[in-house]
Structure 1
């Protein structure tokens, strides 16, 4: 990882070998300067002539004008460059918590990461969460401290904060000094002036700092070395050869056990060449990074595949974008084989063997796309750079490309040889927990809304579309307010759909509060055959979850046998419609006993007894109390220990019952509670605010429970 001048090439060629590729995700909090850093690295590599050289004020990483307008990156973007004969695919990931699905997709496509923090900001809880996301997948990382030229920049504090938050394996490889950086291993000062880099020995003023930092770095490298004699030799006063230290450092970084720190100033270019050296020499190539598990489309495991251009084809769609004019474009990571334009491949994905189907209360499935397993012909291959597309004749294992006209594949799908279909175990996607109810602004928008939502769901696995059959609402399950805003903006801007957000309705139930009798009489006579049916029923409540029971106690043929089922059918239909005009929620957990009635030899019919059964149920409801039942979810809230009291107090204000707490890890607690669904509508937003981004929760439906009288009265008044 020795620092030396870049031999940048203006432009990026197709890689011929996986060993000559580095797939690097830029990870860090929103506002840390990831996108600006990508642009600075492209300038350093000669891909761009200068900073800000892309027209219309957008950065090279912007796929979407909405991202510029909102001043935040919300989606993956790919920027390839070449340095010292190595192709580096920079994958810019979002730092905002709402777009963690895009982050995980970026980590899936990458083999290593640059973890970016700003010198003018503290390491907060959301930043720690991003670090843990990388740790969970074993991602090798280097820490990049940016914004050295900011008025409030403090490199020393930023470094200390990173070491405290991420552990003692975080150590500086360089430190900033006088318009440049000093390399601790090479004892060289790299100075940047007028767009050029020069080298000389460090000034005497840095001697004490240099000695202290260099000693800590060498000790950290030696601790990670496979040569057990190095530490003894070093402590004995032996000067360890620089190339030995660099070799051990590169191995430690590649296996993800050591995290070098590089200070970079994107505006002046300071540290960019050094960072490219770390990326090309210290980061692992695709063959060194373990391939995800491989299966057949039916879920049977297959042997691991090597990252070999001559091996079986296996690639994965890590991002999907669509445009009304360009059509669908898929960002694809090739794990094995070589992909070529106009080839026919097999598309596999979204299979129930790997995708859990979620059901929210009784409203139906709210997760997953339709299974598919089909062949498709590829369109053109290209290497994207922002909105530019550079044609690619072929793409080998380990590389990333964009594919046009891949109309059936969605994010997370696998592409393989049609004669030997394969599937990768999908990466874990977080559950969207913020429901947003929408409706088209005009009748003419209904069809366009359906098309737009289907396309957005194909692009974004963290977006779930629910057509609630009870409330008749279209509900978008999003990761948070920012995610919802991006979805709604895309509907309007890309698909021309005007929608309004409306209050979310909770699917309630009704049940009887006590025993009651009902008399149903449906008699009409108006020329020809009339309608005649009379039935008497008794209704009593059953325990929660019992459902519906129908008991026939008619004697003497008061209700003919052929019409007993008609009465039951009419009662069931009335239960679906509800018991009154003021509410009209489905009725559950009752036993209905038919004990008497009357019939007419000519005018009685199936329809007449259905009507009489429904009328009898309504009369019985009028004679007793009807209780509203609300759905209750079980939630688990993961929070730092010092916020347990605040979170439990907030839950109590939401009518929750805390059922237990468990120690999750060293400084986190898991709070388990049961809470009415109506109280969870904005909990994803409120918990994030309460915990400053440090809390998370999961939810699952448990049962229906009686709603308190005051809350039930408010519901009935609102109808």
Structure 2
């Protein structure tokens, strides 16, 4: 097991010093909104003396030193870092947003951390969104511990909450989820302390400070029963196969051995200890800090993600070694109008130092507006951030999380490595943004600044996809949900001074001919001097879906000179791009040029282009033109209890269910084909239907004819 002993303390204004990777714990706080994650971070900051007081009231709002540091408005919707020092160990607390819209920040926090504290409110319990967050952690194999907050709430019941956690998170084995402490109740049944099961000591906070004493006689049977169950669960993971027999034989196992096996069980992901806290007197904060230091895995125990060269050639596996090759990753990017760009960086291997030149390698998420980086860049100052305060660091060693200034090219997800030996780290999975929002600049002044502001937003947020739709000529932000939209537009306005208006999002429709038709295009102008003369006659017929465009020349006798036949085709193609009924591109069409007329002097390339365009428009006027709408295959994963509601809703959206199948753990996958125009806001609607537990993906399948009544409405709007 890695060295877990103490280290040195950073001076005022200087970040905590780190003597080695074993002196670091990277812990991400996970939980739904309102569980108390940020309040818990504040309690730990107070308990370690990082800030001096838990809060004060200003203008009717409770604020603190941490509130002064961190913007309260954005703290709950963005990944933030709060480093503390306890028992000589630097603990990087990564606070993640609980909103489903900001799952990208959650995944960034999971990437940077080595263990997760799953924060659950004793007053609110476990809901569907909590289970989804748990699944996010499980998907990346993140070791987890549970922290039950708000024990001081009138509705809190620790025993009931323990039973719920065992049922929801134990995967059928309740001994995988057990408490390390039991609450100590006072005369009025309020929680005044904790009873440690491994240490068999009481930590009493009733006097306002933490006092350690022996348990009262009436508490011993309760402690003994819970302790025996805990010890058996912990030593089942021990590498000492004789330990269980010795324990069952009556031998007393020392606490250090139990703690070592506890850390092993947690790091393997086979055991999830429960800890408890309350805001009253910071109850449980010290116990939680001790648990983080002694039971959470260290960075060397966390496997470094695979790396390749920027060209894709595999590299040797890396370890968390400060003397190894430099490989670090940008997990969060923020921009400040005054400070500039700040990059939150997890160092996986090697040592990062101020002013060194590094190579920046990116993954090229071109579909989301992220360019593929492959440049050298000089690192600015390193710091250990606490909100807006940046405590300077002399280095960032393997295992640490640091803030880096002046990385103007690096974006979230990019790899920093040695400039002479560049490497690229395997990316974490980015969620797909599925809510489209079309925007336009509010004024001409905003239009001039819009592109720069959007570029900064894209650099900060890899879950955002920026699209310039050539068909609808709209600028579209693909977002995770309504809250995500609100935050993005607010950042554009407040950080970058760009005001935008949301406008109705248009779907990329197509047009096609329903049957055969003929058209004649005549472009004749004479206004003195050189005139314009071109006549062409065409026949059009629809082709099968997806066949594209065909141009056939059947002109005989030179009625249209050979040099002008390509001009007719060019004019037809140009008109197809502009549309013939509602302004959408025409597809799946064969156009046959059958006849025409030319003038020896006045005919020209441009004249025959115009004639070809006019001929197609005349043919469209004589035929029925269908509007084609895009259809997507949607795969929805939802709890079994909501399957009926989902299928009923899909039917109301003109959807066709093509299959359902169970995917385990009481969840079902529903596959359906649905017109895209019906699912523009499905990211929002599905949450409502499934109470926040559903998720879906979509992929384009084809275009197919729109119902006549809807097509008529679209054509009427275009004509108006």
**1:559-638 paired onto structure 2 within 5 Å:** 559-580=560-581, 583-638=582-637
1:199 is aligned, of 212, 220, 223, to: 212
Q: Distance in 1 between matches of 2:498 and 2:594?
A: 55
Q: Distance in 1 between matches of 2:72 and 2:293?
A: 30
Q: Distance in 2 between matches of 1:29 and 1:301?
A: 38
The answer as to 2:72 corresponding to 1:68 is yes
Normalising by the residue count of structure 1, what TM-score does the alignment of the two structures yield?
Answer: 0.94
User: Cα deviations across residues 320-375 of structure 1 (Å, max 9, x unaligned)?
Assistant: 00011111011111111111111111111124xxx5x6xxxxxxxx4251111111
The answer as to 2:318 corresponding to 1:305 is yes
Q: Name 2:521's counterpart in structure 1.
A: 520
Q: Name 2:179's counterpart in structure 1.
A: 172
How much has 1:579 moved relative to structure 2? Answer: 0.7
1:80 is aligned, of 72, 80, 83, to: 83
8 Å CA contact 1:314, 1:422 repeated in 2: yes
Q: Name 2:672's counterpart in structure 1.
A: 673
User: Cα deviations across residues 21-56 of structure 1 (Å, max 9, x unaligned)?
Assistant: 111111111111111111111111121222127999
Q: Name 2:471's counterpart in structure 1.
A: 470
1:98 is aligned, of 70, 95, 101, to: 101
Unaligned runs of 5+ in 2: 186-191
8 Å CA contact 1:23, 1:90 repeated in 2: yes
1:277 aligns to what SS in structure 2? helix
8 Å CA contact 2:10, 2:16 repeated in 1: no
1:495 aligns to what SS in structure 2? coil
The answer as to 2:164 corresponding to 1:161 is yes
2:628 aligns to what SS in structure 1? strand
2:134 aligns to what SS in structure 1? helix
Q: Distance in 2 between matches of 1:6 and 1:20?
A: 7
User: Cα deviations across residues 97-116 of structure 1 (Å, max 9, x unaligned)?
Assistant: 11110011111111111111
8 Å CA contact 1:182, 1:188 repeated in 2: yes
1:222 is aligned, of 222, 232, 235, to: 235
Q: Name 2:256's counterpart in structure 1.
A: 243
Quick one: structure 1 residues 575 and 616, their matched pair in 2 at CA, closer, same or farther if it must change by over 3 Å? same
Q: Distance in 2 between matches of 1:194 and 1:340?
A: 46
2:560 aligns to what SS in structure 1? coil
Q: Distance in 2 between matches of 1:300 and 1:275?
A: 43
Quick one: structure 1 residues 693 and 305, their matched pair in 2 at CA, closer, same or farther if it must change by over 3 Å? same
User: Cα deviations across residues 465-511 of structure 1 (Å, max 9, x unaligned)?
Assistant: 11111111111100100111100110111111111111001111111
Q: Name 1:361's counterpart in structure 2.
A: none
8 Å CA contact 1:8, 1:45 repeated in 2: no
User: Cα deviations across residues 615-667 of structure 1 (Å, max 9, x unaligned)?
Assistant: 11111111110100111111111111221111111111101111111221231
8 Å CA contact 1:10, 1:48 repeated in 2: no
8 Å CA contact 1:115, 1:141 repeated in 2: yes
Quick one: structure 1 residues 74 and 675, their matched pair in 2 at CA, closer, same or farther if it must change by over 3 Å? same
Quick one: structure 1 residues 340 and 244, their matched pair in 2 at CA, closer, same or farther if it must change by over 3 Å? closer
Aligned length: 701
2:417 aligns to what SS in structure 1? strand
Q: Name 2:716's counterpart in structure 1.
A: 717
Q: Name 2:359's counterpart in structure 1.
A: 346
Q: Name 2:297's counterpart in structure 1.
A: 284
Unaligned runs of 5+ in 1: 358-365
Q: Distance in 2 between matches of 1:367 and 1:454?
A: 11
User: Cα deviations across residues 652-709 of structure 1 (Å, max 9, x unaligned)?
Assistant: 1101111111221231111111111111110000001110111101111111100000
Quick one: structure 1 residues 54 and 99, their matched pair in 2 at CA, closer, same or farther if it must change by over 3 Å? farther
Computed over aligned residues only, the root mean square deviation of the Cα atoms, in angstroms, reads 2.2
8 Å CA contact 2:69, 2:389 repeated in 1: no
**1:261-660 paired onto structure 2 within 5 Å:** 261-351=274-364, 355=365, 366-580=367-581, 583-660=582-659
Q: Name 2:189's counterpart in structure 1.
A: none
Quick one: structure 1 residues 408 and 194, their matched pair in 2 at CA, closer, same or farther if it must change by over 3 Å? farther
How much has 1:218 moved relative to structure 2? Answer: 1.8
1:18 is aligned, of 11, 18, 21, to: 21
